[in-house]
Amino acid sequence: MNSYNPKCPEWLNSAVFYQIYPQSFFDSNGDGIGDISGIIRKLDYIQSLGCNAIWINPCFVSPFRDAGYDIADYYRVAPRYGTNTDLQSLFTEAKKGGSGFAFILTMPGIPFIYYGDEIGIKYQPDLVSKEGGYDRTGSRTPMQWDSSINAGFSTAQKEDLYLPLDPDPDRPTVESQNSNRHSLLNKIRRLISLRKENPALLAAGSFRPLFARSKQYPFCYLRTSSDQKILICLNPAQDCVDANFTLPGWTTAGKWLVNEGVHIKKETGEFAVSVVTEGLSYGIYCWS
């Protein structure tokens, strides 16, 4: 199964998008609201993740009754984010670093990272709805950059921030995770690099579920390209669970690209495979 459209631009095949909620990403002028100049200042960080494309949530003139999705003027940047010239500068600078852009894009097989997910920013429950965000408001809090004031998001007064920060003094930050090899941030970087190095993991690779049961783990599936097969097993649950399935072409002569708690063996019977996954585990196994 492959829903990737071969008529799409070639760069989309290897694209990894970083989604930015502009008002919460980085405030460059100290007014408490993220802006386009702030995005420009953080382009090196986005590229350090391995992301080569950016999806910006709507940043045009709006009454902001739906956080900017209710656009009133598609030809003018909302003043709180900057100017049209700022937006053009963002395009220019991002292109220099090899990044593409999309304002609205839904394309199966292409990964998206929502800002802050790469460091594990927590959802903040019970926040007062902001600009029509309702339950989404808790996932739109400011990016947590470092240990400085307002987690490095803004120099504004706390009460002037677009939304409150996670009050936990041990909240995750880019700064605290950047030098830790075992951090979520660096794990994300390694997985993005792994995807780019293996054709079967790109958007054009085919996808076939092998073990997918309602309310049951693990989830196991096969990605293939013309010269590569990759088995992926995921268990986000706490319990150790197993799965059995058939996999034509399976061989034990392959190698683990990543393995954190997955045990797999070939059973008796043609192409019969048994998988045991520890709690909170995943594995990526490759063969030709």
| Cβ pair 284, 257 in contact under 8 A | yes
For the cut 80, the answer to whether the pLDDT of residue 103 exceeds it is no
Give which of 110, 101, 98 is closest to 201, Cα–Cα.
110
Q: Are 105 and 111 in contact (CB under 8 A)?
A: no
Domain at 206-287, CATH homologous superfamily: Golgi alpha-mannosidase II (2.60.40.1180)
115: helix, strand or coil: coil
Strand partners for 285: 231, 256
Extents of the domains making up the chain: 10-195, 206-287
The counts of H helices and E strands in the chain are 5, 12
> What is the band of 252 on the pLDDT scale with cuts at 50, 70, 90?
confident
Say which residue the tokens 């045991």 belong to.
276
- Residue 222 parent element (H or E): strand 216-225
Which candidate, 41, 70, 49, places its Cα nearest to that of 58? 70
pLDDT band of residue 247 (cuts 50, 70, 90) is confident
Q: What angle do CA 85, 91, 97 make, to 5 degrees?
A: 140
Look up residue 90 and give its DSSP letter. H
Select from 125, 131, 202, 113 the least CA-distant residue to 168.
125
pLDDT (average), residues 58-70? 95
pTM of the predicted model as reported, rounded to 2 decimal places? 0.93
CATH number of the domain located at residue range(s) 10-195 in this protein: 3.20.20.80
User: What are the residues whose beta carbons fall under 8 Å from the beta carbon of 213, sequence distance 6 or more?
Assistant: none
Confidence band of 187 (pLDDT split at 50, 70, 90) = very high
Residue type, 235: N
Q: Angle at Cα 251 formed by Cα 245 and Cα 252, nearest 5°?
A: 100
What pLDDT, on a 0 to 100 scale, did the predictor assign at position 231?
A: 95
- Among 54-63, 102-111, 220-229, the minimum mean pLDDT is found in 102-111
Give the pLDDT confidence score for residue 2 in this predicted structure. 67
pLDDT of 8 above 90 = no
Is residue 84 within a helix (H) or strand (E), and if so which, with residue range?
Answer: helix 84-96
